[in-house]
Amino acid sequence: MVYLTRIEHFNAAHKLYNPNWSREQNEVVFGKCANENWHGHNYELYVTVKGTPNPDTGFLYDVKKLSIIIKDKVIEKIDHRNLNIDVDFMQGKMCSTENLAMGIWNELVPHLPSEIKLHCIKLYETASIYVEYYGE
Ligand code: NI
């Protein structure tokens, strides 16, 4: 089994705010991410797939094709968007990096070719914070 990672970048706006709580409580829990008038992050998305290399190419999968799938099925939906408002798969969820990573996994899985399996979605919200999701 070998693992292959493609890195993609996107920018998006969001707000973390639980309407059942007071503004004070939201600010305590979410800090700057509770800002009423939105804010953005420069996200780095690491998509890791796994499988067995093709004996004819030595490649697990054509990484250019993998990049096109990620861009078409995920980046297109979230880049330069407001995650709370514009993104169908985030509706009804808190727009945390955790939920975004899980949502990206679910968007991507049905579109991957049979020769590779999704192993990990690793999503950096800042240079010092990231989330990993392995599908369970
Ligand atoms: Ni934030």
Provide Rg for the chain, Cα atoms: 17
Mean pLDDT taken over the chain: 97
CB 116 within 8 A of CB 51: yes
Measured in Å, residue 125 CA sits from the centre of ligand 1 at: 8
Alpha-helical segments (H) within the chain: 23-30, 63-70, 76-78, 83-86, 97-108
- The proportion of the chain whose per-residue pLDDT surpasses 90, expressed as a percent, equals 99
pLDDT in tens, 40-66: 999 999 999 999 999 999 999 999 999
Measured in Å, residue 88 CA sits from the centre of ligand 1 at: 19
pLDDT in tens, 67-121: 999 999 999 999 999 999 999 999 999 999 999 999 999 999 999 999 999 999 9
CB 90 within 8 A of CB 103: yes
Q: What is the pLDDT of residue 82?
A: 98
Q: What is the pLDDT of residue 48?
A: 98
Q: What is the pLDDT of residue 24?
A: 95
Question: Mean per-residue pLDDT for 8-23?
Answer: 96
Measured in Å, residue 121 CA sits from the centre of ligand 1 at: 19
Buried/exposed 82-103: b ≥16 CB within 10 Å, e otherwise: bbbeebebbeeeebbbebbbbb
**Whole-structure pTM over 0.75, yes or no?**
yes
Confidence label for 16 from pLDDT (cuts 50, 70 and 90): very high
Measured in Å, residue 31 CA sits from the centre of ligand 1 at: 9
Active site (catalytic) residues: 33, 80, 125
Strand 39-51 and strand 2-14: the pairing is: antiparallel
What domains are defined for the chain?
A: 2-62+69-133 (3.30.479.10)
DSSP class of 89: G
Q: What is the pLDDT of residue 74?
A: 98
Measured in Å, residue 85 CA sits from the centre of ligand 1 at: 15
